[in-house]
């Protein structure tokens, strides 16, 4: 009975390529070249007279589920975003994930030499 079921499934096209459970993180990532000067770099951020924090910029990619559920998922094209790892001088740690409009605003500030946290802005 098994071979008959397998043949029937083949006849209706059940051996077609599978729909992915996860987004396709291959070479399909839309590279944001505005991130190139900051990609996987570290910096020491300071005020006029003191160092405020140390920062590491990690570039990663993400994809959102556009439609579907369970095994019928459709994913968006993967795009890059930034994870900021910030170690303050007092030893506290903070991180931020930036994409979309907030990333655009931060990149504009960074190009002018201004770096901001939730509490203050530094050069």
**Structural domain harbouring 80:** 2-122
- pTM of the model as a whole: 0.67
Residue by residue, pLDDT tens for the chain (123 residues) are: 444 444 444 444 555 555 556 666 566 788 899 999 999 999 888 877 888 889 999 999 888 888 877 777 787 888 899 999 999 889 999 999 998 899 999 999 989 888 865 555 554
CA distance 105 to 35: 13
CA distance 14 to 11: 8
Burial class (CB in 10 A: 0-12, 13-18, 19+), 115: buried
Question: How many domains, in total, are found in the chain?
Answer: 1
């Amino acid at each position: 009975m098994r071979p008959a079921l397998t043949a029937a499934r083949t006849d209706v096209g059940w051996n077609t390529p599978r729909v992915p459970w996860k987004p396709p993180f291959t070479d399909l990532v839309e590279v944001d070249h505005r991130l190139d000067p900051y990609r996987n770099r570290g910096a020491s951020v300071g005020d006029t007279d003191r160092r405020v924090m140390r920062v590491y910029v990690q570039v990663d990619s993400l994809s959102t589920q556009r439609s579907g559920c369970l095994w019928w998922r459709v994913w968006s094209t993967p795009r890059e975003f930034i994870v900021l790892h910030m170690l303050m001088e007092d030893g506290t740690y903070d991180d931020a994930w930036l994409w979309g409009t907030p990333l655009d605003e931060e990149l504009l500030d960074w190009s002018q030499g201004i770096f901001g946290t939730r509490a203050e802005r530094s050069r």
